[in-house]
Structure 1
Amino acid sequence: MVRALVYLVIILLGLCISPFLVGSKGYLYLAIGDYQVETSIFFAVIALIIFYSLLQLVEFVVVWLLNMVLSSRYLPERWRKKAARKHTLLGALALAEEDWLAAEKAMAKGAEKGEIPALNLLAAARAAHHQDNHQARDEYLAKAQLEPLAAKAVGTTRTRYLLQQGDLIAAREELDKLNPTSKSKLPVLKLAIELYQAQQDWQALKLLLPIVSKKQILADDALQALSLKTNLALLTQAAKANEQELEKCWHWLSRAERKQAEYIALYAIGLSRFERKDEAVKMLLKQVKTSASPSIFKAVAEVLTPADVEAKKQLLALETQFENNVDYQTCLAKLYQQNHDYHQAKIWWQKACYLQDDKNSLHALADAQEHLGELNRALQSRRNAAKLG
């Protein structure tokens, strides 16, 4: 803008003084070495203007050429970035169509000069995983992990892929690096839930359950089912270990949980194995009288022996109360069958089968009938069981 203003001033001055220059041409003499120049002042001024204009033109041309040369050095880089965007778009479309091979190739190419290479590499790893190309998948993930901000995302992704692959040991190593805690993100906690169950690491899952409940990762029904599964597994393991582990596991349960029939049944079975049978029988009979459940009746049939005559009498006294309870009928049938009293066992198996057709009950009834010599009836019972599939 300043340069244009200077030009305008020069032109205006030239217009103002040109009449005087034309009227009085003047005289100019220049001597440079052996060269001598004689000319009028008017011609000299015109020559200077033309020379300056040519000088400006040469400057413009030189600057333009320099800019062209410098910018041409970056043209291939621009072309590569443009190609990378194109490959990324094609890869995303291929992922949407689940064309895993095309997606892997496009995303891998797009990662070379892409704006966010880690995203391309993660997408390529996903496509490779779906093709069971584990080596390529791991290579993509290793490259993506070089980006510091993507390290945790890569760790989570690698854990998920290893879990889906069935490599539980390697998946656990990756999960331990992520260190699932209350501060972890939901995907990490969900992976921990799935992996702990796959490895049957019930103690780790038990420690994780309060966090799962606090963050509401699972629905209430799913959380209750997972808690039940975890606690039952822990009680079962403890009952097979020793009495100290059983007591430790039992008191690990909350007060409300220690009132649930499923846990009481397993705890009683464990007590009976460690010479605390009387305590177990007392606990089970108390539970039968208050709020009996299938798990309690099943535990009663497992804990009681033919020598527990008094306990069996207490059960028989409840016949009127549980005349329509198939679990009660099945429990007594098992107790009589343990005592080789096949006549009574047949009666109770018949009651159980009358209340509910069950394949196992029908086979047990057939066994009792065979011991009593009722072969035709036993054959019919097995046919009925076969019909149930």
Structure 2
Amino acid sequence: MVRALVYLIIILLGLCISPFLVGSKGYLYLAIGDYQVETSIVFAIIALIIFYSLLQLVEFVVVWLLNMLLSSRYLPERWRKKAARKHTLLGALALAEEDWPAAEKAMAKGAEKGEIPALNLFAAARAAHHQNNTQARDEYLAKAQLEPLAEKAVRTTRTRYLLQQGDLAAAREELDKLNPTSKSKLPVLKLAIELYQAQQDWQALKLLLPIVSKKHVLADEAFQALSLKTNMALLTEATNANEQELEKCWHWLSRAERKQAEYIAQYAIGLSRFERKNDAIKMLLKQVKTSPTASIFAALSEVLTPADVEAKKQLLALEAQYENNLDYQICLAKLYQKNHDYHQAKIWWQKACYLKDDVSSLHALADAQEHLGELNRALQTRRNAAKLI
């Protein structure tokens, strides 16, 4: 723009002074060494303009040729990058359509000269995983791991794939390298929760629960369910081990957790197995009078034996209070059945079935009827149970 303006000014000046130059051409004498040049001023000016124009033309041609040479040198590289973008787009579309073979092929090609090869390699690994091609999948992830920033993402992805594959030992090895802590990202913590459950490593999961709660990895209901599952599993393992482990596990629970009926029931079952039956019965009967639940009644039916007459009397004394409580009826029915008192067992199973038709209760009623010789009634009861399935 500036150059065009300069040219315009020169032309306008030429138009203004041209009448004077025509009338007085002037005289120019130029001597360089042995060479001498004589000419008019007008011719000299025209010659300078032509020389400058030729110089500009030569400059333009030289620059254009240099640009062509430099750009042609890298032209194959540009073609490769353009092809890589095309392959990446085709791979993304194939992933959206879940066309795994096409997606793997396109993404692998796009990774060669792609702008972000790691993304292509992750996508290719995903496609290979969906085809159960574990060797190719691992090769893609190994290449992606060469990018320093992608190392943790690769380990997380590899752990997830190994877990889905069912190789729990290898998945645990990768997860341990990630070292799930309070500083870990949510995907790592979710993987740890899933893997610990699959391995039934309840000790590790118990240590992880405070972090899961603090970082809100799970919704409240899901967290409560996971906490209950973990603590119950630990109490069950301790029950099958020894009294010391049971006490250790019980006191590992928080004060609020030690008031939950499910934990009390399992703890009482454990106490009864380690010659502390009286403590277990006392604990369970206290819960029955304050806050009875299905787990408490189930634990009572397991802990009590025919010899525990006094405890059974205390239960029977609550009949009027719990006449509409299904779990209470089932508990007494099981106790009488355990004592081979099939007449009373039948009465209590009938009460339970009256409150709610349940397949297991109906079959238990049929068993009691068979022991009493009521075969036709037992057959009809089993037919009623079959209708519920």
Matching residue's letter, 1:83: A
Residue 368 (structure 2) aligns with = 368
Partner of 1:241, secondary structure, is coil
C-alpha spacing 1:46/1:294, structure 2 compared with 1 (3 Å):
closer
Q: Which residue of 2 aligns with 1:262?
A: 262
TM-score by length of structure 2 reads 0.88
The change in CA–CA distance for 1:24 and 1:356 in structure 2 (over 3 A counts) is: closer
C-alpha distance in structure 2 between counterparts of 1:388 and 1:48, whole Å: 112
For residues 47 and 189 of structure 1, the distance between their equivalents in structure 2, rounded to whole angstroms, comes to: 83
In the alignment, the residues of structure 1 paired with residue 25 and residue 333 of structure 2 have an alpha-carbon distance, to the nearest angstrom, of: 139
Q: What is the match of residue 381 of structure 1? A: 381
1: CA distance between counterparts of 2:26 and 2:326?
135
**1:273-323 per-position Cα deviation (integer Å, ceiling 9, x unaligned):** 111111111111111111111111111111111111111111111111111
Q: 1:215 maps to what in 2?
A: 215
Counterpart AA for 1:199: Q
Structure 2: runs of 5 or more not aligned: none
1:59 and 1:352 map into 2 onto residues whose CA distance is 104
Moved more, 153-162 or 61-70: 61-70
Q: Which runs of 5+ in 1 are unaligned?
A: 32-36
Q: Rate the CA distance shift 1:375–1:65 in 2: closer, same or farther, 3 A.
A: same
Closer, same or farther: CA 25–161 of 1 in aligned 2, 3 Å: closer
Are 2:27 and 2:38, in contact at CA under 8 Å, matched by a contact in 1?
no
Query: Deviations along 1:20-44, whole A, 9 cap, x unmatched?
Result: 997768697976xxxxx88756799
* TM-score in terms of structure 1 length: 0.88
1:231 CA drift (Å):
0.8
Relative to structure 1, is the Cα distance of residues 48 and 212 closer, same or farther in structure 2, using a 3 angstrom cutoff?
same
Partner of 1:127: 127
> 1:180: which partner in 2?
180
Q: Would you say 1:156 and 2:152 are equivalent positions?
A: no
| CA 1:377–1:39: 2 relative to 1, 3 Å | closer
Q: 1:235 and 1:56 mapped to 2: Cα distance?
A: 92
Amino acid at match of 1:259: K
Once the 2 structures are TM-superposed, how far is the Cα of residue 139 of structure 1 from its aligned partner?
1.2
Q: Cα gap change, 1:48/1:242 in structure 2, threshold over 3 Å: closer, same or farther? A: same
Partner of 2:167: 167
Q: Output the amino acid matched with 2:149.
A: L
Post-superposition shift, 1:205? 1.1
Q: 1:311-363, CA deviations, whole angstroms, 9 ceiling, x for partnerless residues?
A: 11111111111111121111111111111111211211111112111212222
Residue 285 (structure 2) pairs with residue 285 (structure 1): yes
Q: Which residue of 1 aligns with 2:333?
A: 333
Partner of 2:318: 318
- Alignment map for 1:1-389 (pairs within 5 Å): 40=38, 58=58, 60-389=60-389
Q: How far does the alpha carbon of each residue in 1:125-166 deviate from its partner, in whole angstroms, 9 at most, with x for none?
A: 112222222221111111111111111111111111111222
Deviations 1:218-256 (A, max 9, x none): 111111111111111111111001111110110111111
Tell me which stretches of 4 or more aligned residues in structure 1 moved more than 4 Å.
18-31, 37-60
3-state DSSP of counterpart to 2:240: helix
Letter in 1 for 2:333: A
Q: CA deviation at 1:70?
A: 2.1
The AA in structure 1 aligned to 2:302 is E
- CA distance 1:199–1:26, shift in 2 (3 Å): closer
Conservation of the 8 A alpha-carbon contact between 1:28 and 1:41? no
2:223 aligned partner, one-letter code: L
Deviations 1:73-111 (A, max 9, x none): 111111111121222222222222222222222211111
Q: CA RMSD in A?
A: 3.1
Change over 3 Å in CA distance of 1:132–1:28 after alignment to 2: same
* 1:268/1:299 contact within 8 Å kept: yes
8 Å Cα contact 1:301-1:331 kept in structure 2: yes
* Alpha-carbon spacing, 1:28–1:208, altered in 2? closer, same or farther (3 Å): closer
- Note closer, same or farther for the CA distance 1:29–1:127 as it changes in structure 2 (3 Å cut): closer
Distance 1:386 1:62 in 2: 96
Counterpart code for 2:210: P
Question: In the comparison of the two structures, how many residue pairs are matched?
Answer: 383
